[in-house]
Amino acid sequence: MQAADKSDAVVVAITRDGKTYLNTTQLPPDQLPQKVKDLLTNKLDKTVFVKSDSRARYEKVVDVVDNLRAAGVDQLGLLTEQMQEKKAGGTGAGAPAAGSPAGQ
């Protein structure tokens, strides 16, 4: 989403260890509603983007979304990372991927 790349985009990130960040500031999820309201006050685009580590606990993500809804956020964008396709004939072709059993 190109809108998430804008310098004034509101992005909430959840790390694998459950820490939450509003843009670059670490905050507990229960402090998100007021801070997000303040950031969205004078903006035309009221979308908040949620970016979560794939290893983060689901409960942490739900907690963040619930807190954003409590702040009155109706437009949520969920950010994911695009999977890189394996290229045939590249370096190491034919070798098993790290962590995969050989011979399968």
pLDDT per residue over 52-66, tens digit each?
A: 998 999 999 999 999
Average pLDDT for the chain: 81
Nearest Cα to 22, choosing from 83, 59, 71? 71
pLDDT per residue over 81-97, tens digit each?
A: 766 676 655 555 554 55
Domains contained in the chain, CATH given: 2-79 (3.30.420.270)
Report yes or no: 12 and 70 within 8 Å, Cβ to Cβ: no
Percent of the chain exceeding pLDDT 70 equals: 71
Which pLDDT value is given to residue 77? Answer: 92
Query: 76 versus 80: which is more confidently predicted?
Result: 76
Separation in Å, CA 32 to CA 13, 42, 98: 11, 17, 38
Query: 6 versus 13: which is more confidently predicted?
Result: 13
Does residue 24 carry a pLDDT above 80?
Answer: yes
**Residue type present at position 5:** D
Which pLDDT value is given to residue 90? Answer: 53
